[in-house]
Amino acid sequence: MNRIKSLSWVVGLSMVAGILTAVPARADRSYSDITGTNIWNNTAPIFETDGTLDSALIERVQQLNQESERVYQACNTAIAQLEQNSPTIRRYSRQPGNETAAVPVACRQLEELRAEAQTLKLTLDEAVRSRSNPAFLPW
């Protein structure tokens, strides 16, 4: 009986001590830390950079867009003409045929323009990367 009584005292006192230590840890008020110079809700500084791209580069992009649109239409027209002129013979065979389809000149030009556009995109990415120097980032 004495043992149960002392065990209940130990459990009860432990609960009271736990509650008393947990009460001061309660956070009912917000205390902002404005003791330093870095307050996190401020606006980031804007550093002066040259915001213009090379005019020749912009002109080349516009010229490439117009040229590729024209060549794309020509490629579509050439493919439509090939489909009209080709016979509609269906061939059933287990072996692949040795006939190769002729690729129109306009479609080859379109592929060359696509490759040129890819290199131009890499050039533009490099120009943007050089303009946005990570050393200028505020944090």
Q: Is residue 110 part of a domain?
A: yes
Q: What is the pLDDT of residue 124?
A: 85
Per-residue pLDDT of the chain (139 residues; tens, 9 = 90+): 777 778 888 888 888 887 777 656 555 666 665 666 655 655 666 666 666 777 888 899 899 999 999 999 999 999 888 888 876 667 677 776 666 667 888 889 999 999 999 999 998 888 777 666 656 555 5
Query: How many residues does the structure list for the chain?
Result: 139
Q: How many domains does the chain have?
A: 1
71: exposed, middle or buried (Cβ count in 10 Å: 0-12, 13-18, 19+): buried
Q: What is the 3-state secondary structure (H, E, C) of 70-87?
A: HHHHHHHHHHHHHHHHCC
Q: Is residue 80 part of a domain?
A: yes
Q: What is the pLDDT of residue 21?
A: 74
Q: Which of 52, 110, 38, 122 is closest to 76 using CA atoms? A: 110
User: Structural domain of residue 118, as residue ranges?
Assistant: 55-86+103-132
Place of tokens 């230590």: 21
For the entire predicted model, the pTM comes to 0.52
110: exposed, middle or buried (Cβ count in 10 Å: 0-12, 13-18, 19+): buried
